[in-house]
Structure 1
Amino acid sequence: MILMFREESSSVPVEEGEVYDVTIQDIARQGDGIARIEGFVIFVPGTKVGDEVRIKIERVLPKYGFASLVE
């Protein structure tokens, strides 16, 4: 059996350590804010819908990422 793996890096528009300006569009069940960069979901703790914030990408997974607020 041959397993094929999709090239994830081409579908992920963010990179760990990069800084972005985003608007929080939603709130996750756990209470984290949700921003989207080119449709890619980023969870941002300590934010609420409508916040315009600068974030730093901390961790990137194939379907979503996590970021922290930049002071």
Structure 2
Amino acid sequence: MFREEIRPIPIEEGGIYDVTIQDIARQGDGIARIEGFVIFVPGTKVGDEVRIKVERVLPKFAFASIVE
């Protein structure tokens, strides 16, 4: 029986991170990655370099907002 490898989540709720938006999700949110972990950032586009605050962390991805 194969189990999906469980990696520790490299970010935490409330954390502030500098990221580059790498992709756009179907819903139009920007996608950043930290150590491969996906973070959705509304109001961004590919190539944006932004400082984000993580609002909510789920097992496979997180949501963040831009810090002004």
TM-score (normalised: structure 2)? 0.90
Select the residue among 19, 31, 34 that pairs with 2:31.
34
Distance across 2 between alignment mates of 1:31 and 1:11? 27
Q: Give 1:1-71 correspondences, 5 Å limit.
A: 11-71=8-68
Q: Stretches of 4+ moved more than 3 A in 1?
A: none
Could you say which structure has the larger radius of gyration? 1
Structure 1 spans left out of the alignment, 5+ residues? 1-5
> Once superposed, what is the RMSD of the aligned Cα atoms?
1.4
Deviation, structure 1 residue 11: 1.8
Distance across 1 between alignment mates of 2:28 and 2:8? 26
TM-score (normalised: structure 1)? 0.86
Give the fraction of aligned pairs with identical amino acids, expressed as a percent. Answer: 81
Structure 2 spans left out of the alignment, 5+ residues? none
Cα deviation, 1:33-65, whole Å, max 9, x if unaligned, reads 000000000000000000000000000000000
